Structures are given as structure tokens and as C-alpha cells.
Structure 1
Amino acid sequence: MIVSVSGFTDTVIEEAAKCRGQELVLLLGEEELTEVLAAPASVAGLLHRKRDHLVTHGRVHLAAGAKPRRRRRCPSSDLPALEGG
């Protein structure tokens, strides 16, 4: 399980869906974390829904209001050179 209050990039969401045949990676966003903290008993049902959605439909289940972050990570070769070194 990966928890992020700042959301997930499209790449992370795609990779979680792609890996479902090997290992399940469940993503828990800010809204869902807030839900679980407010009602700890809801965690079992939430994880069950997330697992079923991923296994059955091949899609990552995120809260209705969660929006994927569009930014993709840049390869390290795209980073600027350090000055003075």
C-alpha cells in the first residue's frame, strides 16, 4: 500500500494497474486517508473495494474527488548539471 496526500502521478497509477498480476499495490489518497482516520472500522471495507476493483477491472480505485497528477517524473538525465562541481 502506498499512501499519498499529494496525489499520484499517472505513471504510478498505470504501474499499479500493470503489476496486478504479480503483486497488488493499493493506492490510498488524501480523501481516503481522512475517511479511515475518521472511521477506523471502514479500513477493511475500503481495502476490500480497492483490491476487488484492481483485480476484477484492472483499474486503480481512488476516491471520487481524487484527480491524478498529470506530471510525470523526468529521467535523471534531464536534470541540470550542478554548478561548481
Structure 2
Amino acid sequence: MGGGNGAKSQQARERNAAKAGKGPSSQLKSNAAAMSIQCNICKQAFQSTAKKPMLDQHVDSKHSKQGFAACFPNYTA
């Protein structure tokens, strides 16, 4: 015979218990590890996926006198 509501509820409880055993699913640690671009002047970190326009915005707002090369000398496009 078919599974009633009781069987479905039991399966849902088992699924949720299995998910709870896996631990937190936060990406905070992986995001922190991806912060590989750093401004040489103020030491602010950026993710490795940061594009040049985002870094240009940082230079314009924080270090307009020093320029892009002074902030990010190792940056390659």
C-alpha cells in the first residue's frame, strides 16, 4: 500500500537529521581565504575575483594622489 502522511513526515525528519549532521553551510571561511588582492597602502583585502573597475574605485576614493600602481603593483588583468 501507499505511504501515508506519517511515512512522509518520518522521511522528512530523517532527511533533516542528515542535513543537520553535516555541519554549518556558511561560506565565511572560504570567502576569507579568497581575499588574495591587497592594497599596499591601507592593506584592505579584496577577493581574487575583483575586477579592475572595482579596484579603480578604491584607488579613486581612498588613494587618488598615489595612483593605481602604488596601491596594486602586482595586479595583472
Q: TM-score, normalised by structure 2?
A: 0.28
Give the TM-score of the pair, scaled to structure 1. 0.26
User: Higher relative contact order at CA 8 Å, sep ≥6: structure 1 or structure 2?
Assistant: 1
Kindly name which structure, 1 or 2, has the bigger radius of gyration based on alpha carbons.
2
